[in-house]
Each structure stands twice: as structure tokens, then as C-alpha cells.
Amino acid sequence: MAILYFWPGSRLGNGVGVFNAFSHPESEEQRLFAAYLVNWVAGVKLIFLFLLAVILAIGTQQVKLWAVVAMILSIATYFWRLHPTIKKLDAMGCITPKGYSKALGWMIAGFLTMFTLALFGHILMGVIGV
């Protein structure tokens, strides 16, 4: 989130510098539109993280459980719309470094796996009474 706000052109973390079109917009209008979308995404992530922090700090066990379910479902939406698009852009040579879409897919799959294992572990611990 900080990278999107302060170093959006970065190729590290969540920067959009991997998209060649971000560094070479065809017009001022496209540059401003891209900057707006990047800041919009960063703002949404900020809201999401603050809500998650509040849930973790003062939420009941049931609210925390449903928050994990919400995290799993919301993160999984990446594979519905975003991943197919970034794969196409990667195949077209519009992403630097090449293969970034695959690395990002694995990273997001790792987050999904982590939250899913946490959910199953929580459920299993509740079932066996630990």
C-alpha cells in the first residue's frame, strides 16, 4: 500500500512499474487516469487493512472467523478477473520482468493457502476441543 502511494512506479512489492504502459503513457490523460486508479486501489487497500486491524483487535471469535472467510473469498477473486488479464499482458510482452504474472499468482495462492489453513486449523481445534 505504501509503495502504491509513494512509489507507484516501483517494480517491488505492489508497485505497478511492472506494467510497461504505466511508465510510458501515450497521453497526459492516460497518465492521470493511471495515477488515479493506482491511488484508488491504494485507498481501498488502506480501508481493508484498517478494518481488518479493528476486527483483529476488538472482534469476537465469531467475527474473526467470518473475517477469515471474507479474506479467503475476496483474495480468491484475483483469479477470476485479474489473473487472466495479467497473464495475457505478460504473454504480450507488456510486463517487465517477463513471467511476473506467474510469480504474482503463486504469491496470491500462498495468501489463500495461509488463510485457508488458518480457517481449517481454527475449525479443527474447535471440533476436537483444544
* Number of domains within the chain: 2
Residue 99 confidence (pLDDT): 92
Task: Give first-to-last CA distance, the chain, whole Å.
Answer: 37
- Span 74-94, pLDDT tens digits: 999 999 999 999 999 999 999
* pLDDT tops 60 at residue 130: no
- Span 11-45, pLDDT tens digits: 877 678 888 888 788 889 988 888 888 888 888 88
72 shares its domain with 83: yes
Rounded to an integer, what distance in angstroms lies between the CA atom of residue 100 and that of residue 91?
10
11 shares its domain with 49: yes
User: Among 16, 40, 58, which residue terminates a domain?
Assistant: 58
Please give the share of the chain, as a percent, with pLDDT higher than 70: 97
Q: What is the mean pLDDT of residues 51-69?
A: 93
